[in-house]
Amino acid sequence: MQLDYLINFVAQVRDFKEGVLSIDVCMGTLAKACARHGVALVSPELKLKSGVSVDERMPGVRAIPDEESLWERWVETNYFAFLSETNLVFQTSRFIEEYDVIVGGEYVLRPTARAYGQLYAEWANSVSWLKKSDWTYIDFYGGGLTDDYWDWAEAALQVVKALSK
């Protein structure tokens, strides 16, 4: 199984990884997708450089409350649409500490690696990601998602970190 290179962002990250496209193009595509869906990606490296946490740097940002309507709006609608547009899916046990996801400019997603795996599985099954509809949390928690995943994910993380500076 391979990543879907018909997805613009996926193809751009591959091309960046192969040295035929600048990171700036990838950043521009990701920034537009973030803006379209009310999503922000914040790298912990930025938090360390500035010496303050995401909560201190972004007053008013808080964990998403346990309210079904907020979860449906910001996660199942906006964040899932962002995932569908970008396919920016990270293996959770490796990448969970690498970036924070903020939705609606107000709520930060802070699930455990396992819960993030379940979130990704719900999205992946809802769209039959990579023509598969039996994803489970373990697919996103434990291993490489596709044969070409690891190198692509490391390059995608470079884009996320560059965008959040």
Residue 49 has pLDDT above 60, yes or no: no
Q: Are 38 and 44 in contact (CB under 8 A)?
A: no
C-alpha span between 137 and 56 (Å, rounded)? 31
Helix (H) or strand (E) holding 29: helix 23-37
Strand partners, 62: 107
Residue 156: predicted pLDDT: 95
C-alpha span between 74 and 40 (Å, rounded)? 12
Supply the pTM of this predicted model: 0.88
How do strand 62-63 and strand 107-109 relate by DSSP bridges? Answer: parallel
Token pair 């690891």: residue: 150
Residue 60 has pLDDT above 80, yes or no: no
Residue 111 has pLDDT above 50, yes or no: yes
